[in-house]
């Protein structure tokens, strides 16, 4: 039986980096503005993942360019908004599909990772070619050593 390899995720690859995935998960339940997204990620990860505004907005822009989310400008600035007009983000159907693919990919990786016998077979299938290569190289070293000995004997006899 051929060794089982890690799941082929290329077909389902989401193209999302971790931050983008966190953003899409955050807005999957409803529209949010930037600071709400930052707070949601921090809350969900129990403070382990803190996103700076400097990292957030370029990621939001990339996601919008890929049609993973849409944005709209909120009402004119008010005192409660800190004097700035808020930009709200909402996930699109494409963004929801990307999240579904990301979930499937993680599940496949988890299943593969949790099957130690398959990883053992995979590891042994990697060792055999390396052993063959090592044997070949050792034969080459022995061959080169024999040639050097012959050259040394010829040089010393002349």
- Taking the model in full, what pTM does it have? 0.61
Look at residues 20, 94, 24, 87 and name the one whose alpha carbon lies nearest to residue 55. Answer: 20
Which residue is listed with tokens 């803190």? 50
> What is the C-alpha separation between 71 and 76, in angstroms, rounded?
15
Provide the angle, in degrees to the nearest 10, between the axes of the packed helices 34-44 and 18-27.
Answer: 100
Q: How many CA atoms lie within 13 A of 105 on its CB side?
A: 16
The predicted pLDDT at position 149 comes to 72
Given a cut of 70, the residues of the chain with pLDDT beneath it are: 1-14, 79-82, 116-141, 143-144, 146-148, 158
> What is the C-alpha separation between 100 and 42, in angstroms, rounded?
22
């Amino acid at each position: 039986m051929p060794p089982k390899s890690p799941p082929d995720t290329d077909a389902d690859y989401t193209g999302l980096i971790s931050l983008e995935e966190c953003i899409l998960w955050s807005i999957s339940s409803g529209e949010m503005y930037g600071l709400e997204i930052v707070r949601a990620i921090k809350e969900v990860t129990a403070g382990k993942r803190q996103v700076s505004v400097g990292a957030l907005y370029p990621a939001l822009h990339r996601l919008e360019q890929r049609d993973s989310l849409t944005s709209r400008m909120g009402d004119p600035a008010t005192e409660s908004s800190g004097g700035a007009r808020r930009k709200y983000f909402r996930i699109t159907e494409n963004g929801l599909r990307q999240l579904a693919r990301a979930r499937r990919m993680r599940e496949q990786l988890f299943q593969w990772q949790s099957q130690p016998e398959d990883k053992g077979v995979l590891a042994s299938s990697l060792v055999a070619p390396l052993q063959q290569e090592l044997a070949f190289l050792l034969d080459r070293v022995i061959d080169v050593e024999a040639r050097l000995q012959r050259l040394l004997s010829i040089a010393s006899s002349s």
